[in-house]
Amino acid sequence: MGTTHREPLAGRVIAITGAAGGIGRGIAQAILEADGDMALLDLPGSRLDEAASALGGGARVTTATADVTDAASLDRAFGEIVERTGRLDGLVNNAGVVRLGPADAMTAADIDLEMAVNVKGVLLTAQAAARRFGAHGGAIVNIASNAGKVGYPNMAGYNASKAAVINLTRSLSLEWAARNINVNAVCPGGVATDMLKSVADFIAGGDAEKSEEMMGAMVPQQLGRHILPVEVGRVVAFLLSDAAQIIRGQSITIDGGDTPY
Ligand SMILES: NC(=O)c1ccc[n+]([C@@H]2O[C@H](COP(=O)([O-])OP(=O)(O)OC[C@H]3O[C@@H](n4cnc5c(N)ncnc54)[C@H](O)[C@@H]3O)[C@@H](O)[C@H]2O)c1
């Protein structure tokens, strides 16, 4: 007697961009916990193989290289993934970059890079994945940031790019609902990754001890500790599951309550 318990992502294949980085690895771990199979994507030369072997998912994990700003490289990568796995059910748009400095010192190259990776990359990757989803549709989760809601000093381009991701999430959700593609976003606060370390280093101006202090100062205030990559991942895994069909076009803040909207 009793019902058969199936983990929420059993039988699904999820692609994760920026998967060699800190939050990407935590998302992969959470998807594995939810019994999903996955494809880890990142730039050529990134630590993708190391991320895959650290995860220990065996045959449930495949890797592919792609630059999210380049539609041709994405099309090739998603083609390879579907050839290997036979299906694609979900996408986590996690690749991202930050350029730090006062707004009046930002160069055109800084702004172009942030917009290219954080905004254009999200749309191009969503297009490439959506083309490979089956007739049953799929789910997409974009990794925005609470910076897209609040805005932080010395991150004007990043703040703007993440606000754009929040609205792009709404647009895709509305346009693709008819194809049964559910699109949501999450907005994490401080997660201790290389990206957050680059922010601490910038504020500390090259002083290693002060940089450590700044890492400590960037913990979500109400939580009193950094958010773990896998904690972001567990919210993402939920949003990829069928249980989240009633949540559409939302950008859910994950910062322990500092930004209560
Ligand atoms: N760390 C935080 O506190 C925090 C908070 C909120 C949101 N985020 C967001 O979470 C996501 C992951 O950040 P992280 O902290 O893990 O950073 P990270 O620097 O550890 O990882 C980012 C990954 O993106 C990859 N990437 C960069 N440009 C790419 C491109 N053109 N094509 C493909 N891959 C590319 C990098 O190679 C890297 O592996 C980013 O979108 C970031 O903006 C981070």
pLDDT beneath 50, residues of the chain: 1
| pLDDT tens digits, one per residue of 225-244 | 999 999 999 999 999 999 99
Residue 6: its pLDDT value, please? 75
Nearest alpha carbon, ligand 1 atom 41: 96
Three-state DSSP class for 187? strand
Q: Whose CA is nearest to atom 29 of ligand 1?
A: 95
Tell me whether residue 261 is one of the annotated catalytic residues: no
Class for domain 13-189+228-253, per CATH? alpha beta
| pLDDT of amino acid 4 | 66
- What predicted TM-score, i.e. pTM, was given to this entire model? 0.97
Of residues 51, 89, 129, 158, which has the active-site annotation? 158
For position 5, what pLDDT does the model report? 72
Q: HSE of 40 in the Cβ direction (CA atoms, 13 Å)?
A: 32
Provide the pLDDT for residue 195.
Answer: 95
Q: Which of 173, 72, 79, 174 is nearest to 132 (CA)?
A: 79
Q: Where are the domains of the chain?
A: 13-189+228-253, 192-226
The 3-state DSSP class for residue 254 equals: strand
Shortest CA distance to 68 belongs to which of 111, 109, 128, 25?
Answer: 128
- Decide whether any atom of ligand 1 lies within 6 Å of the 211 Cβ: no
Nearest atom, ligand 1, residue 198 CA: 19
Q: Is 220 in the pocket of ligand 1 (CB under 6 A)?
A: no
Ligand 1, from 195, 230, 254: best to mutate by most atoms within 8 Å of Cβ? 195
